[in-house]
Amino acid sequence: MNNDKFYDSLSVKVLDEFAKKTFGENPPSDLEKMIKYLKPNRQILEVGAGTGRIGIELIKRDFSYTGIEKYSKFLKVFKSRLKNSKFNPKKVQLLNISYENLPKDKNFDFIIFSWTVIGDFSKKDQIKALKKTYNLLSGKGVCLLDNPSKNQEYNKYGSYNPTPFYYDDWKNLLSDMGFSHESKIYKTKTGVERELTILKKRN
């Protein structure tokens, strides 16, 4: 299961409105929360970069950023919005590719699944994606996953059919995969409760 049909028909305007309603703006609350874990001059991979809501903010702050996105229509918007910002092109890579097809030949210091991206994978594919994440992370690497908290319903819109990812349900599996893990519940500036799951490679 995936949300291909949903994203095919989803307009950028609706996506933007949802994001604003969930995280607020200037800066969005999820960026504020995640950025505390990121370090400049380290390689960041964002899975499901969308229209660059988070990516552009990281690029403007001079992070080394690779954004991958399955849908070219969203990536096109990302690129056109990025044109209005000052940045070092040598530190930025934007790829129209799904995570499943991303080659395993590069390591990243940070891998982020912002705004419920992991919910777009089936449970089986979530497991595969997290095992892949383990392999792509450098030794001291950190993975961040931002999702609705257990008290919050996942968005319902059109044919959107996410697979919920609640940290409590994943603790044992994450340990088995070799991660140390924790979660932080936070409230966005628009009053929505979210859960940030933080994964590190256990040494």
In the complex, what is the shortest distance from the CB of residue 114 to ligand SAM, in angstroms, rounded to a whole number? 4
Of the candidates 144, 158, 156, the residue with the CA atom closest to the CA atom of residue 194: 144
Contact 189, 179 (CB under 8 A): no
3-class SS of residue 190: coil
Q: Any residues with CB less than 8 A from the CB of 36 and at least 6 apart, and which?
A: none
Q: Select 171 or 188, whichever has its Cβ closest to ligand SAM.
A: 188
Q: Select 8 or 62, whichever has its Cβ closest to ligand SAM.
A: 8
In the complex, what is the shortest distance from the CB of residue 142 to ligand SAM, in angstroms, rounded to a whole number? 17
8-14-17 Cα angle (round to 5): 145
Provide the 8-state DSSP code for 44.
E
Can you read off the two tokens belonging to residue 146? 């931002």
Tell the residue number behind the tokens 């992370």, with chain if given. 137
In the complex, what is the shortest distance from the CB of residue 178 to ligand SAM, in angstroms, rounded to a whole number? 22
Q: Select 56 or 199, whichever has its Cβ closest to ligand SAM.
A: 56
In the complex, what is the shortest distance from the CB of residue 30 to ligand SAM, in angstroms, rounded to a whole number? 7
Q: Select 171 or 184, whichever has its Cβ closest to ligand SAM.
A: 184
In the complex, what is the shortest distance from the CB of residue 133 to ligand SAM, in angstroms, rounded to a whole number? 12
Q: Select 43 or 116, whichever has its Cβ closest to ligand SAM.
A: 116
Q: Select 70 or 181, whichever has its Cβ closest to ligand SAM.
A: 70
How far apart, in whole angstroms, are the C-alpha atoms of residue 138 and residue 158? 38
Burial group, residue 91, by CB count within 10 angstroms (0-12, 13-18, 19+): middle
**Alpha-carbon Rg of the chain, whole angstroms?**
16
**Binding positions for ligand SAM, rule: CB under 6 A:** 7, 19, 47-50, 53-54, 68-71, 74, 98-100, 114-117, 120
CB atoms within 10 A of CB 16: 15
In the complex, what is the shortest distance from the CB of residue 71 to ligand SAM, in angstroms, rounded to a whole number? 4
